[in-house]
């Protein structure tokens, strides 16, 4: 029922037409740090990054806590969608449909001065305070939820992020890295490295993790694992499927734009 109501709201806002539009991709990494007066008492108390596979996106969650008011908090989600604007709109749609609680009559509403597409609402229409905001700018999705925050706090969060995103250069596509963490595996080999069914291929020790980067692996078959004895080292365990298999690595620093490397291996 709630999902059906939100679908109708998005339809009225022209969501499907907006999703078809073309937008460029963010060309440089973006690290979000709140910088406005209402945010000064808030501290970043927890942060994590992970890879969403469908649609393909690097997601970073930031939890903010008021230093003097223990009940005042906010959660910020930023996601860079590798394949573009339409996927960022898909994440917005998924987000607004994720709540089990019905939005009160009169909400949500649009904010046409922030983002390429933005919706927000309050759980209590008697308070002039937004509790939820969701925005897409380029191929970046942002959402924020607040609890006992000041009126205008979430809008200020989104407005700052939108202003900073608009100032970053854009591109039309993302290239793969020809040299990087997989270089040691390729070095000295002609063609794809070979590994038997069920066998192990050492991928190496990735110093990027020591420098605070997060590594996310995808493989067309088999699995990517940490060495149990030396946890900075990773290896590929071949599955039962023979032939060329692709390993993809997404490496992201403190922001949301990853570097992508791909390695083809031959399972024999």
Query: Where residue 2 falls among pLDDT bands split at 50, 70, 90?
Result: low
Query: Where residue 91 falls among pLDDT bands split at 50, 70, 90?
Result: very high
Distance CA 83, CA 139 (A): 8
pLDDT of residue 198: 95
Look up the CATH number of domain 183-267.
Answer: 2.60.40.10
Using the structure block, give the residue that is written with the tokens 């969501």. Answer: 15
Non-local (6+) Cβ contacts of 30 within 8 A are 78, 80, 140, 164, 165, 168, 255, 256, 257
Q: What are phi and psi of 88, to 5 degrees?
A: -65, -35
Non-local (6+) Cβ contacts of 16 within 8 A are 10
User: pLDDT tens across 214-265, in order?
Assistant: 999 999 999 999 998 888 889 999 999 999 999 999 999 999 999 999 999 9
Average pLDDT, the chain: 90
pLDDT of residue 192: 87
H helix intervals, 59-195: 85-96, 153-166, 183-186
pLDDT of residue 119: 93
Does the reported pTM lie above 0.85? yes
Look up the CATH number of domain 2-171.
Answer: 3.40.1000
**Across 161-188, average pLDDT:** 89
Query: Where residue 210 falls among pLDDT bands split at 50, 70, 90?
Result: low
Percentage, residues of the chain above pLDDT 90: 67
Domain map (residue ranges) of the chain: 2-171, 183-267
Hey, how many other C-beta atoms are within 10 angstroms of the C-beta on 267? 23
User: pLDDT tens across 58-89, in order?
Assistant: 999 999 999 999 889 999 999 999 999 999 99
Q: DSSP code of 20?
A: T
């Amino acid at each position: 029922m709630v999902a059906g109501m939100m679908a109708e709201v998005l339809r009225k806002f022209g969501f499907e037409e907006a999703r078809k539009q073309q937008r460029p991709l963010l060309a440089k990494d973006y690290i979000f740090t709140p910088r406005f007066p209402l945010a000064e008492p808030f501290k970043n108390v927890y942060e994590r990054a992970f890879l969403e596979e469908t649609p393909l996106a690097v997601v970073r969650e930031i939890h903010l806590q008021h230093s003097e008011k223990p009940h005042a908090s906010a959660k910020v989600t930023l996601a860079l969608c590798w394949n573009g604007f339409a996927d960022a709109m898909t994440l917005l749609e998924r987000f607004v449909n994720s709540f089990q609680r019905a939005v009160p009559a009169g909400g949500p509403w649009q904010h046409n001065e922030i983002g390429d597409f933005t919706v927000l609402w309050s759980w209590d229409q008697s308070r002039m305070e937004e509790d939820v905001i969701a925005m897409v700018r380029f191929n970046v999705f942002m959402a924020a939820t607040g609890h006992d925050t000041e009126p205008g706090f979430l809008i200020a969060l989104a407005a700052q992020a939108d202003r900073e995103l608009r100032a970053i250069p854009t591109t039309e596509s993302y290239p793969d890295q020809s040299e990087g963490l997989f270089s040691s595996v390729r070095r000295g080999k002609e063609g794809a490295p070979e590994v038997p069914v069920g066998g192990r291929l050492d991928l190496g020790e990735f110093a990027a993790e020591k420098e605070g980067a997060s590594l996310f692996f995808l493989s067309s078959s088999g699995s990517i694992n940490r060495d149990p004895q030396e946890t900075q080292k990773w290896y590929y365990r071949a599955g039962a499927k023979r032939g060329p298999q692709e390993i993809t690595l997404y490496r992201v620093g403190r922001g949301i734009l990853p570097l992508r490397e791909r390695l083809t291996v031959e399972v024999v």
